[in-house]
Structure 1
Amino acid sequence: MHRRTRSRLSLIAAATTLAALSLCPPAAAFPIPVADAELPDLVTVDAIRTHLQNLETIAAYNGGNRATGTPGYDVTAQYVTDQLRRAGYTVTRDHYSFEQWVEHSDPVLTQTAPQHREFTPGDDFLSMAYSGAGDVTAPAVPVDATGADSGCEDADFADFPAGAIAILKRGTCTFEEKAARAADAGAVGAVIFNHGDTPNDTGPINGTVSNPAAIPVVGASTEVGEALLAAGDGLELHLKVDASVEEAHSYNLIAETRGGDRNNVVVVGAHLDSVAEGPGTNDNGSGVAAVLEIAKQLNRLGTPRNKVRFAFWGSEESGLIGSTSYVERLSEKERERIALYLNFDMLGSSNYARLIYDGRNELPGSVPAPSGSAAIQKVFEDYFTARGLAAEPTEFSGRSDYRAFMLAGIPSGGLFSGADGTKTAEQAARYGGTAGEQFDPYYHTADDTLAHINWASIDELSDGAAYAVEVFADSTLPVNGVAPLRARTLAEPSFDRCGDRWER
């Protein structure tokens, strides 16, 4: 009797288990079909336009910009915080300190011999960020200035006369390395001129030596470099950089969904600051507005399977400082919990293209992307294909906040509408707009305003961003296998860019 009862109970338990299992829906196939996605419909152009109008108003009444360390930045942060709190998020300020390079007056570069020639800051040359301060007049000497590795070896400076200004060509090593070797050889200044290998690499170099240099360093155009080399013996220059490095403080804003797997976090980011020259409505009000609206609407879809963390980065325009500080302060366990990073920086360029970050490393200017980045790229590509819209890869060059995540081995991706690059005839045929002009002619100027936003670009790219967030909030299977640990076997990437400034 006892044995028969136990057998019967076992059958009942098994049946109950099977019934319970039958109530559990099977795992959904990856990804969510484009036609079934809800978030792109919830994230509307009208809502993004309202955010952009508000950000531009904040800039207009606070000195004309939203740069880090300004009232415009603080009020922008308060606006984003208020919007997120109304949508049910807890928002934290992630504080950091950094060394901020500050230029106090225009730099000077003048040829004083064998003939006099004035060069114009902005048009002919620019100070490099973290250049040392100095005001020198001295002989100028080329350092292997016809080779791609100019100044990249100690041997290049074997016969360099102490007390001279080094003339160097942009090439294979970083500007920091060139400047340090020049200083070690006794140079009192350095002029690094653009190589001119492509049409976009002929103007003055908007570069950085990354860490404070011992000597003044400027980045000149190809034309200036050629003129200095043609001057021959007896070349003398007056070089002046008036700058200092000061301790500064700022903060990122971080908010995340209440639910979702905390061991498999999808991070979505955009930089909160503008340049000092203007309101930054496209750069990067457009990314902020899109990410903010995605965060607000995601809560309407219920609890995601994966936790989604929204980040609004500070000090991007000063050299990716906010995002870099954030990633570097994460513990290894915290980094391993991040499944992937999505970056949205400039989505409304007036002469736009639909650009997807190059997770497959197809472009020569891209660094090796961490494993899983190609899957992120494919999600965006498949979305635009399903919508009947052309798209193409853009370089992982180090110009935006994905840089720190990639250096940490975290799969990364995102969308971009173009900045100071030039649209080709093929791109104009594909996306419309004007060939031969910049994607955003108003980039980093006072004219980066609502009047110059391309709303078709906002519509298409914000929908693509929303779709990717909805997909990865549900599953990150092809990116990381939803595993807590993942192999990271690629060589460490070495970026040419830190934000908008060239490093080499």
Structure 2
Amino acid sequence: MVRSALVLFAATVAATNLERQAGYGTTPNKPLVDSKKLQESITEDALSQKAEELEQAAYSTAQRNRVFSSEGHLNTLDFIEGYLDTVSDYYTYRRQPFEALYSQSSGNFSAGGTTYTPIIFEYSPSGSATAPLVVVANEGCSAEDYPAEVADNIALIIRGTCEFGLKSALAGAAGAVGAVIYNNAPGYISGGTLSPPPRPEGEYVPTAGISQENGTALLERLNGGEEIEGMLGVESIIENRTTYNIIADTKGGDPNNILVLGGHSDSVYAGPGINDDGSGIIGILETAIQLAAYTTNQAVRFAFWSAEEFGLLGSEYYVANLSPEENQKIRLYLNFDMIASPNFVYALYDGDGSAFNISGPPGSAEAEEFFANWFKEQGLATTETDFDGRSDYGPFLDAGIPAGGVFTGAEELKTEEEVALFGGEAGVAYDINYHQAGDNYTNLNFEAFVTNTKAIAAAVAEYSTSFDSLPPRNATAARVKARGVHAHPHEKRQRAKHIRHTHDCGKTPKVAI
């Protein structure tokens, strides 16, 4: 019996050693992940098929969207899980339920005899008001910006510097009966959220958004001494709903050293969101499917966040519920939100802070460098976008987890300098369909889609093999913000200042939002 036990023990050790040679805790009959082959396995046909299927998930419903908790979003979850089921021997996955405050709003605004087509911010309360417009000083980011005259009237506020919700709350605290925020760049505000209430500054008031052109025209008339009466009406549904993240983990790889990739599975109410963020979740899903042909040394987690469009609620919930031990196991988070914009740029998150003076925790700079080098090897230029908290990387940075990723741009206008590097059309938004009904399959740019998904595959191959290029996790590290900067999802915008050329080692930014 003793001899038999020793033989069995020796056989087990030998099998374990073979297993580790092929990859930590994985079956030895699969090769260790090969970066070149994994990238080559990414095809336009596969991405195209999934994009069409995701569009159908939205278009098969009356609302034709994938807003969280809707029928279209439940279809999206089934779509993701259906593909994960095809590689069920390689992954375990679960739905992570959480409660999120849902908001659906519509409304109208007119002033001085002109009827506008406003956007109504998520979480704006219902209400109607007919009252004079009063100009708020500066950017409406402090209580002192709201004059006494704003009480019982409608506040007219320029966008910028601070989040929409703060402006609405301060307007409410000053006694305003409504707020109208106009864009600080040409065109309309392409949607946004006040974020779930309550806020310590005050209660929200009915809040709408209009274009820069309309706002400045009203401002000029008011500054000229004219009194302009506004009529603002908002109807909102605001209620708690249950929704779900999907978390998929490789069965193999070191569970104490985890690479996490994520994108958001929900759209806005206005459209199907096939670029925002259908492209991101399809990119990581296709990479997950192709990765199943290989073993990995490190564990890989693919996350599909819900309710991002309502203030990063899914990723916030996930990170907030990580134990300190589980937090430390995550060596790197990579975010992919909009990777197929029709008038694209290749923008990398500014992990080292050299472009926007907001750096991520240690490891973020190395992630940026990895993507910069990969694009350079493909003969492609890149630019940078800042860590402003606009997408699901924000909660990870705040929790001290290094992050990176790629982004192809939203509603900002493409510059002549960017056209010279990336092609496309100057003076046109990176995605003219951002947060609109036109964000569908037809308007995806498959050149960017395929390239960025291959970049995802390259990153997965790199970090699922080894984290040696990253510094050790620091339990106290978090993103370092420039003094005075307060970032918030879907709010700040600022223009890029530099571009990274293929043969230039200079650091450079893209769109900060």
User: Shorter-chain-normalised TM-score: which range?
Assistant: 0.7 to 0.9
Asked whether 1:273 is paired with 2:266, we answer yes
User: Following superposition of structure 1 onto structure 2, how do residues 294-443 of structure 1 map, counting pairs within 5 Å?
Assistant: 294-302=287-295, 304-364=296-356, 367-443=358-434
Asked whether 1:252 is paired with 2:251, we answer no
Does the residue aligned with 1:282 lie in a helix, a strand or coil? coil
Cα distance in 1, alignment partners of residues 422 and 209 from structure 2:
33
Aligned length: 453
**Residue type at the aligned position of 1:346:** M
Partner residue, 1:222 = 212
User: Following superposition of structure 1 onto structure 2, how do residues 191-206 of structure 1 map, counting pairs within 5 Å?
Assistant: 191-196=180-185, 199=186, 203-204=188-189, 206=191
Does the residue aligned with 2:425 lie in a helix, a strand or coil? coil
In the TM superposition, what is the alpha-carbon distance from 1:179 to its structure 2 partner? 2.5
Does the residue aligned with 2:188 lie in a helix, a strand or coil? coil
Identity %: 37
**Residue type at the aligned position of 2:174:** A
Cα distance in 2, alignment partners of residues 451 and 177 from structure 1:
37
Please list the CA deviations of residues 113-139 of structure 1 after superposition, one character each: whole Å capped at 9, or x if unmatched.
xxx322312xxx322222222111123
Asked whether 1:91 is paired with 2:93, we answer yes
Cα distance in 1, alignment partners of residues 479 and 341 from structure 2:
33
Partner residue, 2:457 = 466
CA contact (8 A) 1:43 1:294 kept: yes
Partner residue, 1:82 = 82
Please list the CA deviations of residues 163-207 of structure 1 after superposition, one character each: whole Å capped at 9, or x if unmatched.
2222333343333333323222222222233334xx5xx534633
Shift in alpha-carbon separation, 1:439–1:175, aligned structure 2, 3 A:
closer
Shift in alpha-carbon separation, 1:273–1:36, aligned structure 2, 3 A:
closer
Cα distance in 2, alignment partners of residues 158 and 426 from structure 1:
42
Does the residue aligned with 2:316 lie in a helix, a strand or coil? helix
CA contact (8 A) 1:208 1:502 kept: no
Partner residue, 1:211 = 196
User: Following superposition of structure 1 onto structure 2, how do residues 40-189 of structure 1 map, counting pairs within 5 Å?
Assistant: 40-63=39-62, 64-87=64-87, 88=89, 89-103=91-105, 105=106, 107-111=107-111, 116-121=112-117, 125-144=118-137, 147=138, 150-157=139-146, 159-160=148-149, 162-189=151-178
Gaps of 5+ in 1: 1-19, 26-33
Does the residue aligned with 2:292 lie in a helix, a strand or coil? helix
CA contact (8 A) 2:265 2:277 kept: yes
Please list the CA deviations of residues 30-52 of structure 1 after superposition, one character each: whole Å capped at 9, or x if unmatched.
xxxx9963321222222222222
Shift in alpha-carbon separation, 1:386–1:95, aligned structure 2, 3 A:
same
Q: Which has the larger radius of gyration?
A: 1
Please list the CA deviations of residues 46-92 of structure 1 after superposition, one character each: whole Å capped at 9, or x if unmatched.
22222223222333323333332222222221122121122122220
Cα distance in 2, alignment partners of residues 350 and 172 from structure 1:
28
**Residue type at the aligned position of 2:115:** F
Does the residue aligned with 1:363 lie in a helix, a strand or coil? coil
Please list the CA deviations of residues 354-401 of structure 1 after superposition, one character each: whole Å capped at 9, or x if unmatched.
22111122334x743222111001101111111222222123232221
CA contact (8 A) 2:92 2:249 kept: yes
Partner residue, 1:477 = 468
In the TM superposition, what is the alpha-carbon distance from 1:233 to its structure 2 partner? 5.1
Please list the CA deviations of residues 257-297 of structure 1 after superposition, one character each: whole Å capped at 9, or x if unmatched.
11222222111111112333333322222222211111112
Please list the CA deviations of residues 431-451 of structure 1 after superposition, one character each: whole Å capped at 9, or x if unmatched.
222222222223333333333
In the TM superposition, what is the alpha-carbon distance from 1:491 to its structure 2 partner? 4.0
CA contact (8 A) 2:160 2:491 kept: no
**Residue type at the aligned position of 1:254:** I
In the TM superposition, what is the alpha-carbon distance from 1:467 to its structure 2 partner? 0.2
Gaps of 5+ in 2: 1-16, 23-32, 198-202, 494-512
Cα distance in 1, alignment partners of residues 437 and 209 from structure 2:
23
Greater shift after overlay, 204-213 or 70-79? 204-213
Shift in alpha-carbon separation, 1:502–1:135, aligned structure 2, 3 A:
farther
Match of 1:283 among 263, 276, 288: 276
Cα distance in 2, alignment partners of residues 401 and 40 from structure 1:
25
Cα distance in 1, alignment partners of residues 478 and 437 from structure 2:
44
Does the residue aligned with 1:75 lie in a helix, a strand or coil? helix
Aligned CA-pair RMSD: 2.7
Greater shift after overlay, 154-163 or 92-101? 154-163
CA contact (8 A) 1:319 1:501 kept: no
**Residue type at the aligned position of 2:45:** D
Cα distance in 2, alignment partners of residues 210 and 390 from structure 1:
35
Cα distance in 1, alignment partners of residues 267 and 194 from structure 2:
22
Cα distance in 1, alignment partners of residues 56 and 237 from structure 2:
32
